[in-house]
Amino acid sequence: MTENVPAPLPAGIRPWTVGDIPDVRRIGWETWKATYGRFIPEEDLRAYHDEHYSTEALTRNFHRASTRGCMALLRGKPVGYMIMSFDEKAGRCHVASIYVLPECQGYGLGTMLMEEAFRAAREAKYDRVWLGVMSENSPTIAWYHSLGFSFVEEAPFTMGKTTVRHFIGFRLLTQGTPPPGSPPDLNDDMTTGS
Ligand SMILES: CC(C)(COP(=O)(O)OP(=O)(O)OC[C@H]1O[C@@H](n2cnc3c(N)ncnc32)[C@H](O)[C@@H]1OP(=O)(O)O)[C@@H](O)C(=O)NCCC(=O)NCCS
């Protein structure tokens, strides 16, 4: 008798196209509300979204040679995305945004998107990937730690009329993913907000 093991959900990633912009806007907005709505008023989120995630702004970003984007799909539907950029002058590449719809989190899509960022950065000969995260977003800070990120800088981040603390960190591409249960990095005092 065959055991009744649930089949894995069909999940995957692919490069974004200009036709994905409405989905990027929708996924971004829904995930922002769920993630940041606890500590940033919706009107401030809306002001920032309208300015930086308008169709026009995303279309400009899409056409920049220094930008890459990737969609995450669950059962063929876009449910997440990652946008990264390469700053050749500064010699830095960074993940500018990575979002998976709340109901689709925990299926491995975020990891797939991040691994694609690592792959693209290695291909472009960068030795690390940078990103920023709000200090209040502790589940995601823990997730970044589990992927091997260390946070080394802090800067204010303003959305509308609200300013929050923003941790900035990197993940070396020469290292492997740390095993589960690894101790936090030396900068943990920064990332626990203490
Ligand atoms: C952060 C985010 C992109 C991660 O995507 P995701 O699809 O939920 O993550 P995954 O399913 O790939 O996570 C996979 C692994 O991380 C682990 N993980 C998830 N959350 C974790 C946490 N808080 N701490 C430690 N590990 C965590 C999971 O257990 C899983 O491990 P496993 O593969 O060994 O089972 C997504 O949760 C998200 O959009 N969050 C809200 C928005 C946000 O904060 N975006 C980043 C802004 S800077």
Verify whether ligand 1 is closer than 6 Å to residue 139 (CB atom).
Answer: yes
Burial class (CB in 10 A: 0-12, 13-18, 19+), 177: middle
Atom of ligand 1 nearest to the CA of 80: 39
Atom of ligand 1 nearest to the CA of 132: 48
Identify the band that residue 185 occupies on the pLDDT scale cut at 50, 70 and 90: very low
Region of poorest pLDDT, from 7-16, 39-48, 114-123, 172-181: 172-181
- Name the nearest CA neighbour of 163 among 36, 19, 9: 36
pLDDT of residue 9: 73
CA of 140 to the centre of ligand 1 (A): 6
Q: In sequence order, what are the beta bridge partners of 92? A: 87
In this predicted model, which residue has the larger pLDDT, 159 or 1? 159
Going by CA atoms, what residue is nearest to atom 45 of ligand 1?
99
pLDDT of residue 140: 98
How big is the CA angle at 139 (ends 37 and 5), to the nearest 5 degrees?
Answer: 110
Is residue 28 pLDDT above 50, yes or no? yes
Is residue 15 pLDDT above 90, yes or no? yes
Atom of ligand 1 nearest to the CA of 112: 12
DSSP-derived letter for residue 20 is: G
pLDDT per residue over 72-129, tens digit each?
Answer: 999 999 999 999 999 999 999 999 999 999 999 999 999 999 999 999 999 999 999 9
The single residue listed with the structure tokens 């990120």 is 149
Atom of ligand 1 nearest to the CA of 141: 23
Going by CA atoms, what residue is nearest to atom 27 of ligand 1?
143
CA of 180 to the centre of ligand 1 (A): 13
Verify whether ligand 1 is closer than 6 Å to residue 100 (CB atom).
Answer: yes
pTM over 0.85: yes
Atom of ligand 1 nearest to the CA of 105: 8
Count of all residues that appear for the chain in the document: 194
Going by CA atoms, what residue is nearest to atom 48 of ligand 1?
133
Please give the mean pLDDT across all residues of the chain: 90
Region of poorest pLDDT, from 129-138, 159-168, 179-188: 179-188
Identify the band that residue 188 occupies on the pLDDT scale cut at 50, 70 and 90: very low
Residues of the chain by 3-state class (helix, strand, coil), percent to 5? 35, 30, 30
CA of 22 to the centre of ligand 1 (A): 23
Going by CA atoms, what residue is nearest to atom 4 of ligand 1?
110
Going by CA atoms, what residue is nearest to atom 7 of ligand 1?
110
Q: Distance of CA 40 to CAs 35, 43, 136, 177, Å?
A: 9, 8, 10, 32
pLDDT of residue 178: 54
Residue type, 107: Y
Identify the band that residue 3 occupies on the pLDDT scale cut at 50, 70 and 90: low
Q: Please, what are the domains in the chain?
A: 11-191 (3.40.630.30)
